[in-house]
Amino acid sequence: MHPGSRVSAVYLCRAPVDFRKQIDGLAALVEQELTMNPFADALYVFVNRQRTKMKILYWHRNGFCLWQKRLEQQRFAWPTADDAATLCLTLQELEWLLEGFDLWANKPHKTLNYQAVS
Q: What is the mean pLDDT of residues 9-28?
A: 95
Q: In 3D, which of 31, 34, 21 has the Cα closest to residue 84?
A: 34
How many CB atoms neighbour CB 92 within 10 A?
A: 9
Instruction: Place 3 in a pLDDT band, splitting at 50, 70 and 90.
Output: low
DSSP state of 30: I
Q: Residues 6 or more apart from 8 whose CB is under 8 A from it?
A: 40, 41, 42
Q: Residues 6 or more apart from 100 whose CB is under 8 A from it?
A: 74, 76, 77
Q: What is the pLDDT of residues 53-103, one digit of tens each?
A: 999 999 998 999 999 999 999 999 888 777 778 889 999 999 989 998 888
